[in-house]
Each structure stands twice: as C-alpha cells, then as structure tokens.
Amino acid sequence: MSLSTFDSSFIDAVEAKLNNEETKDRITAERKFPYGPFEGHQSRLGHYYRHLYQMIRYVDQQSLDINKYEYVKTVRAQLSTHEQAMLRVNTRTPLGRVWWENDLITAYGLVKNIPRGFFEKSTELDMEAMLGPGYFEWEETR
C-alpha cells in the first residue's frame, strides 16, 4: 500500500532487481554485508524506528525548561552511520513522513553524522540537496 502511488511497472522492475540472486550476491560482496540483503527486515526495522520516533517526539513535546537538543543528541550518538542512513530512507516513505511533519530531522540533526559520499548522489540520494547547506557534521570541518 505504501507504494500504491508509484507506477506499477517501476515497482515490478525494482522488485525483480532486488529478488535477483546475482544482484544480491553483488551487493553483499560490494558492501561486505554479513547477511543477505533485500530479505525483509520490516519486523525489526519497523519496531526500531517507531520506538526511536516515540523517544524523540517525547523529548520534543516536553514543556520543561531543558535543552532538548542535548537530550536528543545523546540518543543520536547511539545511532550508527547505517542506522542514520536507514532513518533518512525511512523518512522518505509515507510512514516516515511524521519525522518531517514534526520537524524532528532538522531540528535535532538526527542524520547529520552521515558522512559525505555515503549515498551516491546521482543514483541514490542527494543528501546535500535534501537537507541544505550547513546541516552535516562534515561541513563543520571545512
């Protein structure tokens, strides 16, 4: 249902590519994955990102006089680069839209530690264009 707004031939082509054993083997080797990619981790990831959202949203909604950014920074510090990248991908889906609707990604710099070039901007995600100049940690060292 999350993909119902996309062209079905596009979805079929993506699904065929992800189910292709040669593609899986190539990606596993290129990325040095210790697991088989594209095998479905929705049950783990859905729970993980819902829980993460609830933590961040809870801090965001507090009316206490606290430095919310510092609290959320402690949570962000627990996220690996790949977890931040998956969070960014998750926020591009209809289910992940609430992260943007509540301005959590930008307000708390939740994916600011993704290194430059982690995503191939021409074929994957152009992170700089999506989040604008000055967002990423690597920009602070220029």
CA 121 vs CA 70, 105, 128, 130, 131: distances in Å: 30, 19, 9, 10, 13
pLDDT in tens, the chain (142 residues): 667 777 888 888 888 888 889 988 998 899 888 877 777 766 667 788 889 999 999 999 999 999 999 999 999 999 999 999 989 988 888 888 999 999 999 999 999 999 888 888 888 888 888 888 888 888 876 5
Q: Is the pTM of this model over 0.85?
A: no
Query: Domain ranges in the chain?
Result: 1-39, 42-141
Closest CA to 118 of 100, 102, 136, 105: 136
